[in-house]
């Protein structure tokens, strides 16, 4: 049925009650009896919950006071953070040397920030990263330019978390790609080796790998030979993440049409070059979002290293809380940690989303 | 159409003389080749000799094994019996030999198979740079020459996804040409194209034929076969049923199956 002429239809505006704030409210919150009730209940809940929260966080809280001052207040004692910031972030890294991990971290952030721009993705970028890593390693370990040596056992706090996650990813990615290629190999030996590895690792929790690396692995080593504890944890994380990356990359490889292999082969490209130049660039692009997912979980999973007595940022916070002076402010400390983790993870996801869009716009 | 004009006949003659001289060294030789997919006998006793500068059109019903046969010639498919010798190299499991043969044999696919993550220019220079080890600059210059030849030079910096089907197929032809192949294989190069784009691709292929490229073309474009081919080959059920000069093939088909096929397609 047609109502009104064409010109009328062209000039017609939506009825007022369907647009603007009122329209939106009507449509989304009060469109039937049940939803209206639900909305009212939610509003009541928020009214009960939010004002006290705001009072606790902002109004009755202290930010830069001593522990004593905190005893007399109702609100949050955020002072626990600034008072312990150097321990939470750098743990047992010797006092007075903590500018070193700080500089290393800032350098890392600078490199990450610089790498965000795809225009910088040239060979020089790899050189910057290599130089950056050498400098960071030097800063952390010391022993050069008059900086005293700091054993890895003392590396702790946020730099440790970042390091385990970042190197975990950097190490796991190539290994994961190789495993994915191996799993698709026609050579039955290589294929079954990769399948067994991937399924075994995915079948156990990271915690058990960390345990094995710290407890069982040394048993297999000849007497007198010992492996750095941080390095062992790092290896465990790499081996763990690689299995997940392998599966993600395999998904990407499956999405590449056979025609791409055929065209590359028909040009006379070898298997390795076909993979490197044609297949992997396309497959890895597809798997950016799930890869970032793995990076994020690796980042969060690093907190498990506490069980082998490494002090990541979560553990240093716990240690701070066991200080009698600051005992009882765990809500504040853990909220702070949550925000710290969230900011990092959110930065990763939003970057992956942007990258995905940019790469997609490329063609 | 028994009568061709005098000019056509003369150039045909010259071309045939040329072919006679080359008769001794075939560029492709297939002897008693068989292929199975599992239990399915796809190719049965294929014998084929292609001499340099020869243009062969292969036709036949769907599923008759045309694609499989030409894909065996650069070992995209592996044959199980018989011999295939390309440019003096026998195709065996030796991967180095296979890569050598592939570098000399260009292939154009039905669905173009351009590399979507590379620009047109990069698509063209990839082979020369990584297989032939041509310096980048030189490869780019050659690529631009071939792009001009397929009349598409202005698109060099675009990505394949931004081009029409006909343009993509011309790029695919140029990509093969950049390797300076001795033989070009075409597997239904126009059958994925909209009708208005078929001509632009066929024109490029005709140019190529006139320059003396050795070509094996699987196609149902019978106009192309009549005007360009030296030999038309009809395949059915994995066998080469009949082959002849285009004139004989279209005017006096010998085999019943060929006649049936021609009656359906023409
Ligand atoms: N990878 C494969 N595995 C099993 N069977 C296959 C495979 N590829 C092709 N075939 C079968 O082999 C036969 C020949 O296929 P081929 O693609 O060579 O035919 P064609 O003559 O090119 O047909 P079309 O005109 O449809 O392209 C078909 O029956 C097909 O189903
Ligand atoms: Mg086919």
* Bridge partners of residue B242, in order along the sequence: B234
**CB B65 near ligand 1, within 6 Å:** yes
Q: Are residues A157 and A286 in the same domain?
A: yes
Q: Are residues A339 and A226 in the same domain?
A: yes
Summarize the confidence of residues B243-262 as an average pLDDT: 92
- Residues of chain B in contact with residue A264, where contact means CB-CB under 8 angstroms, are 115
Instruction: With CB atoms and an 8 Å threshold, state whether A262 touches B113.
Output: yes
- Residues of chain A in contact with residue B179, where contact means CB-CB under 8 angstroms, are 267-268
**CB B86 near ligand 1, within 6 Å:** no
Q: Are residues A160 and A235 in the same domain?
A: yes
pLDDT at B91 over 70: yes
Alpha carbon distance B121, B158 (integer Å): 8
**CB B63 near ligand 1, within 6 Å:** yes
Considering the domain boundaries, does residue A261 fall inside one?
A: yes
Alpha carbon distance B10, A107 (integer Å): 77
Nearest to B127 among A267, A282, A363 (CB): A267
Q: Are residues A114 and A252 in the same domain?
A: no
Q: How many residues does chain B have?
A: 266
Instruction: With CB atoms and an 8 Å threshold, state whether B131 touches A362.
Output: no
Residue range of the domain that includes A265? 80-93+150-359
Instruction: With CB atoms and an 8 Å threshold, state whether B109 touches A263.
Output: yes
Question: For a pLDDT cut of 70, what percent of chain A falls above it?
Answer: 93
Considering the domain boundaries, does residue A248 fall inside one?
A: yes
To the nearest whole number, what is the mean pLDDT of chain B? 89
Nearest to A277 by CA among A291, A256, A250: A256
Considering the domain boundaries, does residue A75 fall inside one?
A: no
Q: Are residues A207 and A293 in the same domain?
A: yes
Considering the domain boundaries, does residue A269 fall inside one?
A: yes
- Residues of chain A in contact with residue B159, where contact means CB-CB under 8 angstroms, are 362-363
pLDDT at A4 over 50: no
Measured by CA distance, the residue closest to atom 7 of ligand 1 is B37
Q: Tokens at residue A214, please? A: 């710290």
Instruction: With CB atoms and an 8 Å threshold, state whether B76 touches A263.
Output: no
Ligand 2: centre distance to CA B27 (Å): 23
The CA dihedral of A38, A39, A40, A44, to the nearest 10 degrees, is 100
Chain A 268-307, residues with CB within 8 Å of chain B CB atoms: 268-270, 273, 277-278, 281-282, 285
Q: Are residues A116 and A253 in the same domain?
A: no
- Residues of chain A in contact with residue B129, where contact means CB-CB under 8 angstroms, are none
Considering the domain boundaries, does residue A219 fall inside one?
A: yes
Ligand 1 atom index nearest CA of B238:
14
Residue range A310-352, pLDDT digits in tens: 888 888 888 888 888 888 888 888 988 999 999 988 988 888 8
Cβ-based neighbours of A245, under 8 Å, separated by 6 or more: A172, A173, A175, A176, A177, A179, A180, A291, A294
Cβ-based neighbours of A362, under 8 Å, separated by 6 or more: B117, B159
Considering the domain boundaries, does residue A198 fall inside one?
A: yes
Q: Which of A61-70, A134-143, A268-277, B71-80 has the lowest mean pLDDT?
A: A61-70
**Per the structure, how many domains does chain A have?**
3
Instruction: With CB atoms and an 8 Å threshold, state whether B115 touches A363.
Output: no
Nearest to A106 by CA among A159, A173, A177, A29: A159
Q: Which residues surround ligand 2, an ion (CB under 5 A)?
A: B 67
The CA dihedral of B204, B206, B210, B216, to the nearest 10 degrees, is 100
Residue range A115-124, pLDDT digits in tens: 888 788 888 8
Judge whether A39 and A30 are in contact, CB under 8 Å.
yes
Q: Are residues A26 and A116 in the same domain?
A: no
Q: What CATH number did the domain enclosing A176 receive?
A: 1.10.3720.10
Alpha carbon distance B205, B188 (integer Å): 12
Residue B147 at interface with chain A, using a CB cutoff of 8 Å: no
Summarize the confidence of residues A153-175 as an average pLDDT: 87
C-alpha separations of A7 from A1, A11, A15, B29, B163 in Å = 16, 6, 17, 73, 40
Judge whether A70 and A329 are in contact, CB under 8 Å.
yes
| pLDDT band at residue B5 using 50, 70 and 90 as cut-offs | very low
| pLDDT band at residue B38 using 50, 70 and 90 as cut-offs | very high
- Residues of chain B in contact with residue A285, where contact means CB-CB under 8 angstroms, are 117
Q: Are residues A233 and A142 in the same domain?
A: no
Judge whether B239 and B44 are in contact, CB under 8 Å.
yes
Instruction: With CB atoms and an 8 Å threshold, state whether B131 touches A268.
Output: yes
Residue range A188-234, pLDDT digits in tens: 999 999 999 999 999 999 888 888 887 877 777 777 666 778 888 88
Residue A263 at interface with chain B, using a CB cutoff of 8 Å: yes
SS3 sequence of A236-275: HHHHHHHHHHHHHHHHHHHCCCHHHHHHHHHCCCCHHHHH
Q: Are residues A27 and A132 in the same domain?
A: no
Q: Are residues A106 and A179 in the same domain?
A: no
Judge whether B43 and B72 are in contact, CB under 8 Å.
yes
Alpha carbon distance B90, B101 (integer Å): 9
Ligand 1 atom index nearest CA of B66:
21
Measured by CA distance, the residue closest to atom 6 of ligand 1 is B37
| pLDDT band at residue B10 using 50, 70 and 90 as cut-offs | very low
Phi first, then psi: give them for residue B81, nearest 5 degrees.
-145, 150
* Bridge partners of residue B184, in order along the sequence: B106, B215
Q: Are residues A195 and A173 in the same domain?
A: yes
Measured by CA distance, the residue closest to atom 22 of ligand 1 is B67
Residue A123 at interface with chain B, using a CB cutoff of 8 Å: no
**CB B219 near ligand 1, within 6 Å:** no
pLDDT of residue B22: 55
Q: Are residues A177 and A120 in the same domain?
A: no
Instruction: With CB atoms and an 8 Å threshold, state whether A260 touches B127.
Output: no
**SS3 assignment, position B75:** coil
């Amino acid at each position: 049925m047609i109502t009104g002429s064409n010109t009328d239809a062209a000039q017609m505006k939506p009825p007022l009650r369907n647009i603007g704030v009122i329209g939106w409210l009507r449509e989304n919150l009060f469109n039937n009896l049940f939803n209206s009730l639900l909305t009212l209940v939610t509003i009541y809940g928020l009214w009960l919950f939010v004002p006290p929260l705001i009072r606790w966080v902002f109004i009755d809280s202290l930010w830069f006071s001593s522990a004593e001052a905190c005893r007399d207040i109702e609100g949050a004692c955020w002072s626990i953070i600034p008072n312990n910031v150097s321990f939470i972030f750098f743990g047992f890294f010797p006092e007075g040397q903590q500018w070193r991990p700080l500089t290393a971290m800032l350098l890392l952030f600078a490199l990450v920030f610089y790498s965000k721009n795809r225009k910088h993705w040239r060979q020089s970028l790899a050189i910057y990263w290599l130089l950056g890593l050498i400098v960071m390693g030097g800063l952390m370990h010391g022993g050069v330019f008059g900086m005293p040596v700091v054993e890895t056992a003392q590396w702790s706090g946020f730099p440790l978390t970042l390091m385990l996650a970042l190197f975990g990813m950097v190490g796991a990615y190539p290994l994961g790609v190789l495993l994915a290629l191996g799993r698709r190999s026609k050579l039955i030996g290589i294929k079954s080796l990769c399948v067994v590895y991937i399924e075994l690792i995915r079948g156990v929790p990271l915690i058990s790998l960390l345990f094995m690396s710290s407890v069982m692995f040394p048993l297999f080593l000849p007497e007198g030979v010992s492996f750095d504890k941080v390095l062992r944890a790092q290896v465990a994380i790499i081996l763990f993440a690689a299995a997940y990356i392998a599966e993600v990359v395999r998904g990407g490889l499956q999405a590449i049409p056979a025609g791409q292999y055929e065209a590359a082969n028909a040009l006379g490209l070898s298997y390795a070059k076909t993979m490197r130049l044609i297949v992997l660039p396309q497959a890895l692009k597809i798997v950016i979002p799930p890869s970032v997912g793995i990076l994020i979980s690796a980042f969060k999973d690093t907190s498990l290293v506490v069980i082998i007595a490494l002090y990541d940022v979560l553990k240093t916070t716990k240690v701070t809380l066991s200080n009698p002076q600051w005992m009882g402010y765990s809500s504040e400390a853990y909220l702070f940690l949550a925000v710290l983790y969230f900011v990092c993870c959110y930065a990763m996801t939003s970057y992956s989303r942007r990258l995905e869009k940019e790469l997609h716009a490329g063609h | 159409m028994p009568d061709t004009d005098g000019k056509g006949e003369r150039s045909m003659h010259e071309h045939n003389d040329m072919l006679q001289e080359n008769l001794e060294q075939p560029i492709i030789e297939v002897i008693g080749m068989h292929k199975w997919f599992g239990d399915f006998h796809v190719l049965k006793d294929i014998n084929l000799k292609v001499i340099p500068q020869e243009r062969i059109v292969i036709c036949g019903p769907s599923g008759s094994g045309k694609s499989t046969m030409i894909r065996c010639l650069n070992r995209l498919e592996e044959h199980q019996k018989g011999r295939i010798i390309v440019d003096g190299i026998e195709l065996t499991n030796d991967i180095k030999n296979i890569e050598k043969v592939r570098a000399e044999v260009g292939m154009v696919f039905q669905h173009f198979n351009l590399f979507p993550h590379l620009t047109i220019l990069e698509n063209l220079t990839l082979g020369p740079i990584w297989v032939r080890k041509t310096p980048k600059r030189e490869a780019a210059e050659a690529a631009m020459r071939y792009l001009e030849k397929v009349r598409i030079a202005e698109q060099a910096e675009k990505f394949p996804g931004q081009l029409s089907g006909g343009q993509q197929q011309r790029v695919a032809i140029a990509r093969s040409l950049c390797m300076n192949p001795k033989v070009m294989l075409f597997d239904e190069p126009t059958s994925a194209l909209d009708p208005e784009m078929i001509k632009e691709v066929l024109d490029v292929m005709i140019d190529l034929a006139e320059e003396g490229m050795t070509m094996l073309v699987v196609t149902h474009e019978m106009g192309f076969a009549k005007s360009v081919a030296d030999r038309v080959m009809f395949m059915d059920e994995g066998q080469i049923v009949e082959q002849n000069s285009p004139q004989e093939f279209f005017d006096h088909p010998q085999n019943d199956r060929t006649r049936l096929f021609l009656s359906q397609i023409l």
